[in-house]
Amino acid sequence: MEFYFEISLFEKRFCSPATALKQGFRLPFALAIAFFLILSAPAFSQKSKKQLEKEKKENLRKIEQTNEILKEVKKEKKASLSQLKVLRQQTRLKERTIGSIQDELGILQSDIQHLQSEEEQMAFTLQKIRKEYAAMVYAASKASVSNQLIFLFAAETFNQFLMRIQYLRYYADARRRQAEQIRVMSLNLNQKKLKLAMVKEGKENLLVHEEKEKVQLETLKEDQKKVVSELSEREQDLKEKIDKHKAALNRLERMISDLVKAEIRRSHTTVGPPKPNQDDENIEDKMSLTPEGKLISKSFAGNKNRLAWPVQNGFISSSFGKHEHPVLKRVYVDNLGIDISTRSGEKVRSVFEGTVGLVGSVPGMDGQIVMVRHGEYFTVYSGLRNVSVSAGDKVKMKQVLGEVLKDEEDGAVLQFQIWKNNKRLDPEVWLANE
């Protein structure tokens, strides 16, 4: 009679084999959806973490580069602007690195909360399934073979007999399915716990890394203050150097402007004056281009934000245009291009294919100057030694033009400019974001 009681409860709960089958698969389907969400949710954050990790590694690589440059400028006994610029660049990179670490920590914390919630839900579901399975096993232990036979042959009709056979089969299958569910869920729960422990460990290691970076950042800021203080005591020397540098840059600008104007006049003679259009540019200030020149010019313009860097290692230590002096108050400098601080002897490369238009020098400016024409665009490289090209040479992208000259005080600095006809452009927005 006990068996009949268990079966009756079974019949009352599941109503029919079809309904029982549907209800039997309800839990696994729900779990499948839950597992999908568990696996998919971190996938989006994982992409973000990979990006942050990439940025962090790139910043650390750039810091290593600046360390090499800093070692060179520190060889001089007194503080220099180059030293200050390197320290400032390192500070910016450290701040970016710390920012990436903090963003990554935020993602890890979110992952930890998510994993903890999923772990708790899985543990609760597993406990529930285990209770149901225990009840099934208990009921089955009471149902002897003889009781099952009595149950079958007590059927009043043949259809009822078949229905009871189906119930008994499903009952056995349900037990096997739940046993498998328990095994799979137990395994998944253990994996979830292991993953959670690994994420927590990763967070702890990242916190240690963040603390080290913060300590190094504070050290860099203190070093900057010392250099600024020392440079401030040499205010008069700095002003005199600024005046000399400004005069040299003015001579360079006039020389380049005269050369560009000469090229424009020559193009009007050989190719013919350009056709008037809606362009605001004066025809007299616009280059006449051959079909080859038009192609190169269009290609150069199409590579904006993607041009190769003129040096493989280095950073922009002075930006384009007018900006405040890093030490002297109320003193402004106007940069014709950008200054790239690098290592002594670093190879200088053409940023794009073109034709060398000039190899020369300017009084008051150390090193040689190379100008390369790219259709109606011109690139200018100043502060070179061991120049390996001559005027009229065809050069390819990344072809070596020479080496960066090292100044005793300022270190190795390349002055880089981009012109369109006789108009100066900001090189930083043209170079690739490396």
Residues 195 and 275 in one domain: no
Residues 204 and 299 in one domain: no
Cα–Cα distances in angstroms (integers) from residue 54 to residues 19, 24, 48, 255, 306, in the given order: 53, 47, 10, 43, 20
Residues 361 and 221 in one domain: no
Domain count, the chain: 2
Residues 142 and 159 in one domain: yes
Residues 241 and 198 in one domain: no
Structural domain ending residue among the three candidates 210, 232, 254: 232
Contact (CB, 8 A) for 231 and 84: yes
Residues 178 and 96 in one domain: yes
Structural domain ending residue among the three candidates 206, 232, 258: 232
Residues 252 and 273 in one domain: yes
Does the residue 434 lie in any domain?
no
pLDDT tens string, the chain, 434 residues long: the values are 333 333 333 333 334 433 433 343 334 434 443 443 334 444 444 457 777 777 777 777 777 777 777 776 666 656 677 788 888 888 888 888 888 888 888 888 888 888 788 777 877 777 776 776 666 566 555 554 455 555 555 666 767 667 766 665 666 666 677 666 677 777 777 787 788 788 888 888 888 888 888 888 888 888 888 888 888 877 788 888 888 888 888 888 898 988 888 888 888 888 887 776 645 556 667 888 888 989 999 999 999 999 999 999 889 988 998 888 878 777 788 888 999 999 888 999 999 999 999 999 988 888 999 999 999 999 999 999 999 999 999 999 999 999 999 876 677 899 999 999 989 999 999 999 86
CA-based nearest residue to 400, from 317, 299, 312: 312
Q: Quote the CA–CA distance of 415 and 368 in Å, as a whole number.
A: 11
Contact (CB, 8 A) for 374 and 352: yes
Residues 324 and 227 in one domain: no
pLDDT at 422 (0 to 100): 87
Q: Which domain holds residue 335?
A: 235-429
Q: Quote the CA–CA distance of 107 and 269 in Å, as a whole number.
A: 64
Structural domain ending residue among the three candidates 211, 232, 253: 232
| Other Cβ atoms within 10 Å of 283 Cβ, number | 14
Residues 53 and 7 in one domain: yes
Residues 206 and 255 in one domain: no
pLDDT at 52 (0 to 100): 76
pLDDT at 44 (0 to 100): 40
* Single-letter code of the amino acid located at 71: K
- Based on C-alpha coordinates, what's the Rg of the chain? 38
CATH of residue 257's domain is: 2.70.70.10
pLDDT at 239 (0 to 100): 82
CA-based nearest residue to 181, from 37, 6, 36, 26: 26
DSSP for residue 34: H
CA-based nearest residue to 311, from 349, 354, 356: 349
CATH of residue 141's domain is: 1.10.287
Residues 68 and 123 in one domain: yes
Q: Whole-model pTM above 0.75?
A: no
pLDDT at 171 (0 to 100): 63
Q: Quote the CA–CA distance of 430 and 413 in Å, as a whole number.
A: 19
Which tens digits make up the pLDDT trace of 43-93?
444 457 777 777 777 777 777 777 777 776 666 656 677 788 888 888 888
pLDDT at 37 (0 to 100): 38
